[in-house]
Chains A and B, each alone.
Chain A
Amino acid sequence: MKRYIDAAAVTASPALSRRRFLTVTTLGGAGFVVGCGQREQAPAAAAVPASAAAEPAPQPISLETLNAFVRIGSDDTVTAVVKHLDKGQGVTTGLPSIVAEEMDADWSQMRFEFAPADAQKYANLFFGVQGTGGSTAIANSWMQYRTAAAGARAMLVDAAAKRWSVPAAEITVAAGVVSHPSGQSARFGELAADAAGESPPDAPTLKAPEDFKLLGTHLRRIDSVAKTDGSAQYTIDTDLPDMKVALVAHSPRFGGRVGAFDATAAQAVEGVSEVVEVPTGVAVIADSFWSARKGRDALKIEWDDSDAELRGTEEILADFRDLATTPGATASDGGDVDATLADASQVVELTFEAPFLAHATMEPMDCVVRLDESGCDIWTGSQLQTVDQQVASAVAGVPLGNVRVNTLFAGGSFGRRAVANSDYIAEAVAVARASRSGAPVKLIWTREDDFTSGHFRPMSLHVMRAGIDAIGQPVGWSHRIVTQSILSGTPFEGLISNGVDPSTVEGAANLPYAVKQLQVDVHTPRIGVPVLWWRSVGHTQNGWVTEVMIDQLAHAAKADPVDYRLGLLETHPRHRAVLQRAAAAANWSAPAPEGRFRGVAVHESFSSFVAQVAEISVDSVGRLKVHRVFCAVDCGFAINPDVVRAQMEGGIGMGLGAFLREGVTFSEGQVLSNNYHLYRPLRINEMPEVEVYIVNSGEAPTGVGEPGLPPIAPAVTNAIFAATGQLITTLPLGDQLSAG
């Protein structure tokens, strides 16, 4: 998402330079103005201890706000205000660790809280609005949080200098203690109130990376404690006085509407208090999930399908195939590739098909809304706070400034909670508004709702042709993509240029290999299925097809797949370095262990570089086992190597599940795979042993949430080819190996 939202940031908001950032944070927001000395009760529930051993506070704690990102408690805690959603990727550890480093705090005193919706203070600097995605959380925050923390440290030092009447330059800070050679010392908490009265420095000095003590080491995740004792609060756990639970019956087809409905039986269900129509369906409001569920089951609804998408996946794919016979909008102009391929010594032609995919987050979509005279409060795992706030404001009919978004842990997202129309949040607000009781409402989507109500990774068709010359060098590469546009029809539509939605061609139009003529074009037909970014977006399919194609060219050239790639990556040192590291880890130059076969892939996404070698076997009845995956990643400076490893493991597991079995199929416009027995993500018995190697390029940190995913499907596809000679060009794999 980064690249095209970058462009939005330019128009949507003034670019925040580091200098300007301090101005904004110190002058912009009344609630957080430095030096106001405002004392607040500690938000104990939101501030999660970094260590299980943290002592309970004996007396009321006051919190001093040093700037928009740093608060210090009288109990000596340092709270990093986290502007991003944590959906598992570890940003509630990553951002506090940046703050701890620049402040010279002790890791055990660090806490975090999620920031409120406030685009002025908490915008993603790459997006211009507050939001999390595109693996940008650390990258965009890196200098911002360092600067804020260094400023807070300077304020503590200034406060100590005044208190002790010593020059600030003689003061040192280590592990949360401010000291002077005279023997004076104070903990952060003791200085916090005075520090809040100091002026923030214009340009605080940042540490040199070689002086980092915490960053680059394995700091324990702050959220591990709350997530292993049941205290972590997700949207579904939110409990407000008099709160009701709502379920909404949606049209079984996208674009369908309520024609008529009879709520008599639903109203009669014990615990059901109201049945109301909302734009997306019919809502049953009850005193518990179970009553709402039974009430919804008892609804009789006639759906109006006059505007509904009535095709199935087979029909849509047939339309894709027709479209692929004509040129699409050009994303990379390769000149007369046809003529070049006509002269090539060998040409490889392949057609790939990748299905719709569901995010299938373990926590289904959910949102709590309270509407009252003070405005609209929302509790949800908000991934695009600014957008969610605007949508809620419009649906609730409440001024923007009176819409408060309370961000909670999300039980996974993978892109699902960043929706341009805030679909389920808008629905929750609509239900709360339609309710006559005025009670707060918790909207819960059941798993069936989650699987059938849309926002899928788009299906895609890829027609590819590439030719090599007599010495095996690629001379022409033509790649035609047919898929839906994610950006079309959203506020981000302006980023589509010359008919090309950049998310459809990322990882394809910027092919890193030295190919003389690169032709990439794309068709983006309008289809009535809502689509969305899914962990690594266009790279999910483009990484797969390009890395299988290059492997097939290596095969045609009778070259080693690693050597062949390296020879075509001379101007791409970061690709080369991860490829060489993964190959070395897998002992690529030696034969695979008996009965095992290997495949390799390398792909850049979201400015990080990942190579993977998959080691597999296929038994006599066609059962695939992925035994080991050797993964090398260059994400610039790895601020927490263990979180980087975890994200690589997760990306590999999710990508492997998609490769093996995942696909959303429709028949007559209705989704068939409506729960986990039909849509089947990876399970533990299929998880390979993953070894992760971090290649430090010395670059600034980039994301890791998504980039671990794209290489696994092509690495396994290439390994299957090595094992069996069968080339998988249609996903998911399903039973294709046993059918052969």
Chain B
Amino acid sequence: MKVEFSVNGEPRTVDVPGDKPVLWVVREDLKLTASKFGCGIGQCGACTVLLDGNMTRSCGLPVSAVAGREITTLEGADDAVAKAVRDAWRALDVVQCGYCQSGQMMSAIALLRSNPSPDNAAIDAAMSGNLCRCATYQRIRKAIHQAAGELGGAA
């Protein structure tokens, strides 16, 4: 089926099976590969994108459900929050294998938009759906605090 929606601010039209998950549409049809496949069942967060600004796992989201809506992937995340998150991730060298990190950063961006100065408990609550097998968690926490500080929230 033909589905029209917006990705990273641009209108896109794809002609794919309506049940194809948004993850595979952005990766295969739109060639945006930052969002990763980790589990396919909403358990790991590697596929996290923003849907109308809200954190969403894209691996179980049929493309037919996003007609007319706005998807943001890491490639298109470029507002002040995203920039602060990216800068903090780099400054603290959060990444190891890096595979989970697009999902981590999208969850962090969504968190900071709704809570500009999260404490550790709020970070843990917001980020516990994102697995990192390399266990970069300590640096993720620090990077979120650092980005919050950069944005003017209490670090």
> Mask for A654-665, Cβ within 8 A of B = 1, else 0?
100100000000
> Mask for A130-145, Cβ within 8 A of B = 1, else 0?
0000000000000000
User: What is the size category of the interface that chain A forms with chain B?
Assistant: 35 or more
A234 to B36, CA, bound (A): 10
A165 within 8 A of B: no
Known: A224-B89, A290-B17. A683 touches B131 (CB 8 A): yes
A52 to B87, CA, bound (A): 10
Known: A89-B96, A270-B17. A412 touches B133 (CB 8 A): yes
B99 touches A230 (CB 8 A): no
B138 within 8 A of A: yes
Q: Chain B's nearest CB lies how many Å from the CB of A443? A: 13
B24 touches A228 (CB 8 A): no
- A86 contact set on B, CB distance < 8 A: 97
- A270 contact set on B, CB distance < 8 A: 17
List residues of B (48-94) whose CB comes within 8 Å of A's CBs.
73-75, 86, 89-90, 93-94
Out of B21, B43, B97, B137, name the residue touching A290 (CB < 8 Å): B21
B37 touches A88 (CB 8 A): no
Out of B40, B46, B89, name the residue touching A228 (CB < 8 Å): B89
- B130 contact set on A, CB distance < 8 A: 684
Task: Tell me which of A253-261, A644-652, A725-733 binds B.
Answer: A644-652
Q: Chain A's nearest CB lies how many Å from the CB of B41? A: 6
Interface centre among A232, A364, A690 (most CB of B within 10 A): A232
B89 touches A444 (CB 8 A): no
- A189 contact set on B, CB distance < 8 A: none
A608 to B99, CA, bound (A): 27
B136 within 8 A of A: yes
Out of A220, A223, A654, name the residue touching B133 (CB < 8 Å): A654
A223 touches B98 (CB 8 A): yes
Out of A88, A234, A289, A684, name the residue touching B28 (CB < 8 Å): A289
Q: Chain B's nearest CB lies how many Å from the CB of A293? A: 8
Report the nearest A residue to B140, measured CB to CB: A684
A652 to B135, CA, bound (A): 8
Out of B16, B38, B41, name the residue touching A362 (CB < 8 Å): B38
Report the nearest B residue to A705, measured CB to CB: B96
Known: A228-B95, A447-B41. A362 touches B100 (CB 8 A): yes
Known: A89-B96, A220-B90, A363-B97. A290 touches B39 (CB 8 A): no
B7 within 8 A of A: no
> Mask for B114-155, Cβ within 8 A of A = 1, else 0?
000000000111011011111111111100000000000000
A677 touches B41 (CB 8 A): yes
Q: Chain A's nearest CB lies how many Å from the CB of B118? A: 12
A654 to B132, CA, bound (A): 9
Out of A88, A230, A245, name the residue touching B97 (CB < 8 Å): A88
Interface centre among A52, A223, A227 (most CB of B within 10 A): A227
- B98 contact set on A, CB distance < 8 A: 88, 223, 226-228, 232, 409, 411
Known: A289-B24, A685-B125. A412 touches B99 (CB 8 A): yes
Question: What is the total number of residues of chain B having a CB less than 8 Å from a CB of chain A?
Answer: 57
A675 touches B39 (CB 8 A): yes
A684 to B108, CA, bound (A): 13
A245 to B40, CA, bound (A): 16
A2 within 8 A of B: no
- A224 contact set on B, CB distance < 8 A: 89-90, 93-95
Q: Chain A's nearest CB lies how many Å from the CB of B105? A: 7
A411 touches B135 (CB 8 A): no
Out of A234, A410, A646, name the residue touching B136 (CB < 8 Å): A646
Known: A362-B38, A362-B44, A675-B39. A653 touches B96 (CB 8 A): no
A739 to B36, CA, bound (A): 38
B28 touches A363 (CB 8 A): no
B32 within 8 A of A: yes
Known: A676-B39, A681-B133. A229 touches B86 (CB 8 A): yes
B34 within 8 A of A: yes
B133 touches A684 (CB 8 A): no
- B2 contact set on A, CB distance < 8 A: none
B138 touches A685 (CB 8 A): no
Out of A223, A444, A690, name the residue touching B37 (CB < 8 Å): A444
A689 to B128, CA, bound (A): 16
A228 to B20, CA, bound (A): 26
- A407 contact set on B, CB distance < 8 A: none
B33 within 8 A of A: yes
Report the nearest B residue to A270, measured CB to CB: B17
- A90 contact set on B, CB distance < 8 A: 96
A230 touches B73 (CB 8 A): yes
Known: A87-B97, A239-B31. A362 touches B132 (CB 8 A): yes
B95 touches A676 (CB 8 A): no
A271 to B17, CA, bound (A): 9
- A444 contact set on B, CB distance < 8 A: 37
Known: A229-B75, A412-B134. A221 touches B93 (CB 8 A): yes
- A89 contact set on B, CB distance < 8 A: 96
Q: Chain B's nearest CB lies how many Å from the CB of A91? A: 11
- B17 contact set on A, CB distance < 8 A: 270-271, 290-291
Report the nearest A residue to B75, measured CB to CB: A230
Known: A270-B17, A653-B135. A363 touches B99 (CB 8 A): yes
A627 to B114, CA, bound (A): 27
B20 touches A288 (CB 8 A): yes
Interface centre among B33, B38, B75, B98 (most CB of A within 10 A): B98
27 A–B contacts from the bound complex (CB under 8 Å): A88-B96, A224-B95, A228-B89, A232-B98, A236-B33, A270-B17, A288-B24, A290-B16, A290-B21, A361-B99, A411-B98, A412-B97, A412-B133, A414-B133, A447-B41, A646-B136, A649-B138, A653-B135, A675-B40, A676-B44, A681-B133, A683-B131, A684-B127, A684-B132, A684-B141, A687-B135, A687-B141
Spell out A's residues near B (CB within 8 Å).
52, 86-90, 220-221, 223-232, 234, 236-237, 239, 245, 270-271, 288-291, 360-364, 409-414, 444, 446-447, 642-643, 646, 649-654, 657, 675-677, 681-685, 687, 689-690
Given A290-B17, A684-B123, 12 other A-B residues pairs in contact with their CB atoms under 8 A = A88-B98, A228-B90, A230-B33, A230-B74, A271-B17, A362-B132, A364-B38, A410-B97, A411-B98, A677-B41, A683-B128, A684-B132
- Shortest beta-carbon contacts, A-B, top 8: A653-B135, A230-B34, A411-B99, A88-B97, A227-B98, A88-B96, A687-B137, A685-B124
Spell out B's residues near A (CB within 8 Å).
16-17, 19-21, 24, 27-29, 31-41, 43-44, 46, 73-75, 86, 89-90, 93-102, 105, 123-125, 127-128, 130-141
